[in-house]
Every structure is written in structure tokens, then in C-alpha cells.
Amino acid sequence: MNHLPLIIKREYLTKVKNKSFIIMTFLSPLIMIALIAVVAYLSQLNNDKKRFISVLDETEFLSDVFQNTSNTTYTLLNDLNLEDAKALVKEKNDYGLLHISKVDSIDEVAQNIKFYSEESPSLTVIAGIERKIEKRLREMKLQKDGVSLEQIEASKINIDIAQESFEGQKSSKIDNIIKLAFGGLAGYLLFMFIIIYGNMIMRSVIEEKTSRIIEVIISSVKPIQLMMGKIIGTSLAGVTQFAIWVVLGGVLLTVVSAIFGIDMTQASSQQQELMNQAMQAEGAQAMAESLLNGISNLPILNLVIAFMFFFIGGYLLYSSLYAAIGAAVDNETDTQQFMLPILMPLILAVYVGVFTVIEDPHGTVSTVFSFIPLTSPVVMLMRIPFGVPMWQQVLSLLLLVATFIFAVWFAAKIYRVGILMYGKKPTYKELFKWLKY
């Protein structure tokens, strides 16, 4: 008799109708959005602060470098000595005083610039000033050597090495960033999913034990059916929750940014400036084009299919282990000793993904970890956007499926014995004995 749909339905409905589940489903995006809004608002407050910087330029080489911007106003001081200037700036309560001492030639200017301020100045402010001065000095030096401004302008070259695989697959730097983003997102999603909903499965197995209904159920259905029903039902509830989060999050984000007029995509104007510079260099259109190009260059079909297989495979593998833990213990506090061996490979996978896949997606470490079943779902998902040979994907998937079958067998054994054991705190030795029952 196949009771699987019935069990899935019950598990799903109980989860979805549960009050705390409903509250979390609707509250989490609100909390997240509120958090983002607060952070964005605060950083905007910071950026809105107008800075007044006085400049005492005794060389007069650089006077016209300092153009006012929306949040920085430069005041040029003339005919003052340094001490008077400092006193004046302090009195005006300016952000700081930039002092360029009198020197004979342009070559010495660089060594004679100082910034005086009450508090230590912000790194970005100093970096901005340095950039301005550097540019001007370079131009002046070149001009001194007989290079015209036009020539300097003409000499600016922007290199973006075109990358192409032997098969003719084109890619670029921006492609790699997109690949990283896709891979990282997929891996991280799986990681979160396993942690949140694996725990939920474990708790629901423990609940059946503590409420003692398990023997009634188990006299009607096979333990493995019950276990699979639980895993699938809980996962569907998880997918539902995730979908609501995505939709709700999107809507709220739009609403909030419309209301507060905060452009969430750019956290600070300094970054905006940098972006603008980059954009100007490449041309906004070209940028957008290469972004689109990068996305279309991704092995989309492969990505989607692999994502489904590895996501489902990895999730099922871990959740059957979670179910086994739930069956082995009597209450949640006893789960600690068994959690570590499960979390370790998962965390390891994320670390390997973050630190080695970025560096070298096809290096030995990344490749090996994308085959080891407990880490492969996360690591492989991160590698796939960079193009992984089909045989590797298939082999890794086969290994994953084989391990999953073994894990289900193992979990079902533990489950069958464990769910009927009460009051015994199991040890690993005990679990090993259960396998032979």
C-alpha cells in the first residue's frame, strides 16, 4: 500500500498550518527588509553630511584641482601662514585643513602635503584627495616633459582581455563575477535550506517519539515510507516558505525603497563615484551589454538541471541523516553530539567553495571536494557556472545518489530501531549495534 502521498500531505499541512511557521514566514522578510532599510538609511545619513575642507596651497599648482561636490566643499585659503590657517579652520569647525607647503619644483610637491584635522579623517576622504592630486601631478609632470594634454588623454587605454576557451566559448572578467555570484548563491541557498529544514525534519521525528504515536503509525506504514513522507512534506513546506519570502521580500523592498527614496543598490555615494568612473571608462552601454552577455554565456540549461539534481540530492542526503538523528534520540538536547559530524562537512563545503573555487574553480582541491558526496552538492553547484565537464558532473551525481541510497538505508535502520527505543541515550556504539538488528 502506498501511503506516501497521504503522509506528505499531512506533514505539509501540519507544518504550513503551524502558527510559528506562519509567523516566521511573514515576519522574516519584514525583519530583513527593516534591517536593510535601517542600514541603508543610516549610511545615507552619514553620506549626507556636508564636509568643509580648507585648502592652503602655497604652491598654487593644485588650486583648481579641488572642485566642490555635492557633499564636500573646498575653501581655498590665501595669504595665510600655516598657524593662522589652522586656527581659522579650527574656529570654523571645518572637517580639516589640507596644507601643501611651498616648494621649488613639482617633483617635491608629493612629499610636502599634509592633512590637519580634529579627528582622524575618513579613509575614503583621504583616498579621494590623494587620487585627485596624483592625477594632476602626473599630468603636470608629463606636460613638463613636453606631452600635451590631448596626448595624455589619448594615451588612456582600458584593457579588457577577451577570454575564449578552445571550443570557442567566449567569456570576460565580468562573466567570472557573474559565475561566482550564481554559484555562490546556489551553494549558499542549499546550505541554508539544509540547516533550516533539516532541523525541522529532525524535530518532527522527535515529536512523533515524544508523543508516542510512532508505534501506532508504524503498525500501518513502513518506516521508510514515513521517513520519506516526512522529508518530502517538510521540503515542500520549505519551498513554500522560501517562495513566499522571495515574493514578499521583493514586494516589500520595492515599497520601502519607494517610500523612503532610498536606492538600495548603492549603499554609499563614494562607491557610486567609483562605479561611475568604471562605467565611464568602459561606457555604460558596453557594461550593460557585457553583463547581459555574461549571463547568456552561462551554461544556463546545465546550471538549471544540475542545480535541481544536486540541490535535491544534497538536501535528501542530509535530511535523511537528520531524520536518523531524530530517531536515535529522545529529545532535542541529546542531538548535540550527533550534529557536529553532520555540520562539519557542510561547513567545510562552504569554506572550500568560498576560498578555493573562486581562486581556482578547476584546481585539485575544488575538484576533489566536488566529488566527495557530503560536500559535492555545495562545491559542485559553485563550480558549474565555470563549466565543468559532463563526465565529472555525472560521476559526482552518481556518487551522490549512491551515498544517498546508503544514507537512506542507514537512516531507515536507525529509524526503525530508534523510534521504538525510549529512555536510552544512544552512543555511537549503540547505533552501530542497531544496524545489525
Query: Minimum distance from CB of 3 to another protein (Å)?
Result: 6
Phi and psi of 52, rounded to 5°?
-110, 120
Nearer to another protein, 157 or 216 (CB): 216
Nearer to another protein, 127 or 420 (CB): 420
CA pair distance 371, 266, nearest whole angstrom? 38
Nearer to another protein, 209 or 383 (CB): 209
Nearer to another protein, 97 or 431 (CB): 431
CA pair distance 315, 235, nearest whole angstrom? 9
Query: Minimum distance from CB of 211 to another protein (Å)?
Result: 4
What is the contact surface with another protein in residues (CB under 8 A)? 1, 3, 6-7, 10, 14, 18, 207-208, 211-213, 215-222, 416, 420, 422, 433, 436-437
Query: Minimum distance from CB of 319 to another protein (Å)?
Result: 20
Nearer to another protein, 21 or 116 (CB): 21
Query: Minimum distance from CB of 48 to another protein (Å)?
Result: 51
Nearer to another protein, 239 or 420 (CB): 420
Query: Minimum distance from CB of 404 to another protein (Å)?
Result: 24
The residues, ordered by sequence, that sit 6+ positions from 26 with a Cβ below 8 Å of its Cβ are: 244, 248
Nearer to another protein, 10 or 51 (CB): 10
Nearest to 37 by CA among 267, 202, 238, 231: 267
Query: Minimum distance from CB of 229 to another protein (Å)?
Result: 10
CA pair distance 181, 315, nearest whole angstrom? 21
The residues, ordered by sequence, that sit 6+ positions from 99 with a Cβ below 8 Å of its Cβ are: 56, 58, 82, 85, 113, 114, 115, 116
**C-alpha cell, 89:** 579652520
Nearer to another protein, 18 or 293 (CB): 18
Using an 8 Å Cβ cutoff, are 349 and 382 in contact? no
